[in-house]
Amino acid sequence: MRVLITGGAGFIGANLSKALVEQGHEVVVLDDLSTGSKDNLAGVPVRFVEGTILSASDLDGVVDGVDSVVHLAARPSVPRSIQDPMASHLANATGTAEVLEAVRRAGANRERPAQVIVASSSSVYGANPTLPKSEDLAPRPVSPYAASKLATESYALAWGASFGMDVLAVRFFNVFGPLQAAGHAYAAVVPAFVDAALAGRPLPVHGDGTQSRDFTYVGSVCAVLGDAIARRVSDPEPMNLAFGSRVTLLEVIAELGAIIGDDLEVEHQPTRAGDVPHSQADTTRLRSLFPGVEPVPFTTGLTATVDWFRSRD
């Protein structure tokens, strides 16, 4: 099948590109390289197009003839959205509507439009303290990023209902793994920790480290997305894409110390605006839509991530 990945030069997108090519799919990537890099796709035979989801003509040039679109392009990160909320709104909310419209335009001349899978985020649960996070809970975004991701999934589901398109809106929960960028102000926690640990620097911990997350290895994410494409899975409701684990930052640090074989020093920093204390997915919907997918265990994923960071030195 032919698959378009928007944001395919980013962390999740490049891992997915590689996985889909290995499964025999033809992959087209549209990316403006704002946070992604062509290096992430080195040696992966995709058709790469540099362009933006905010341009209808860039989208029209890549969407024709594709069976599925995995829409990952976005301005990621909570702190970035607090720095510049309108930029997050534009890329994540307006950008998603542009992608859906491009698929609808291309679908007008075909039997049916392409399937569209969009990336939402556990951050939509925000201030709702209930655990685990079931998709039936009321979303309560506490950052512009979270609000823009709620728009991403709402637009996808609304286009599905209004125009008969096959859509799937997945909420990622702290995905980690190879190719995830570290060493910048907005780095996610796992790459920031691994990078610091391997360089012998103290690990930057916002708050006391007891906050917990449902860390998901990128290989598990790719397995679900690959299955969603192969079986053209769609759903009128959003779906958590995480496997229900709950790991604190202090546990991540202990696990990392064991893998690296060192006692790791920690540097506590103030809690960040927009961060939520705990996050854990209810997996009922995921298990019912994707009964065949088993997650990669946390320690296995963390070891693979450390190996990848080491391989770059």
Ligand X SMILES: NC(=O)c1ccc[n+]([C@@H]2O[C@H](COP(=O)([O-])OP(=O)(O)OC[C@H]3O[C@@H](n4cnc5c(N)ncnc54)[C@H](O)[C@@H]3O)[C@@H](O)[C@H]2O)c1
Distance CA 313, CA 303 (A): 16
Instruction: Tell me the closest approach of the beta carbon of residue 53 to ligand X, in angstroms.
Output: 4
Round the CA-based radius of gyration of the chain to a whole number and report it. Answer: 19
Piece of 52-60, 249-257, 295-303, 304-312 that binds ligand X (CB under 6 A): 52-60
Closer Cβ to ligand X, 76 or 141, answer by number: 76
Report the residue from 74, 99, 196, 293 that binds ligand X according to the rule CB under 6 A: 74
Looking at the Cβ atoms of 194 and 265, the one nearer to ligand X is 194
100 near 165, Cβ under 8 Å? yes
CB of 80 to ligand X, least distance (A): 10
Please state the φ and ψ torsions of residue 144, each to the nearest 5 degrees: -60, -35
Q: CB-based contacts of 255: which residues, under 8 Å, 6+ apart?
A: 247, 298, 299, 302
Exactly one of 4, 5, 31, 293 binds ligand X (CB under 6 A); which one?
Answer: 31
Q: Which of 281, 264, 148 is nearest to 212 (CA)?
A: 281
Q: How many CB atoms lie within 10 A of CB 51?
A: 18
Which of 3, 4, 5, 9: binder of ligand X (CB under 6 A)? Answer: 9
Which residue stretch of 59-67, 170-178, 197-205, 246-254 sits at the interface with ligand X (rule: CB under 6 A)? 170-178
Bridge pairing between strands 212-213 and 247-248: antiparallel
Which of 70, 114, 119, 156 binds ligand X (CB under 6 A)? It is 119
Binding site for ligand X (CB under 6 A): 6-7, 9-13, 30-36, 52-54, 72-76, 91, 95, 119, 121, 172, 174-175, 188
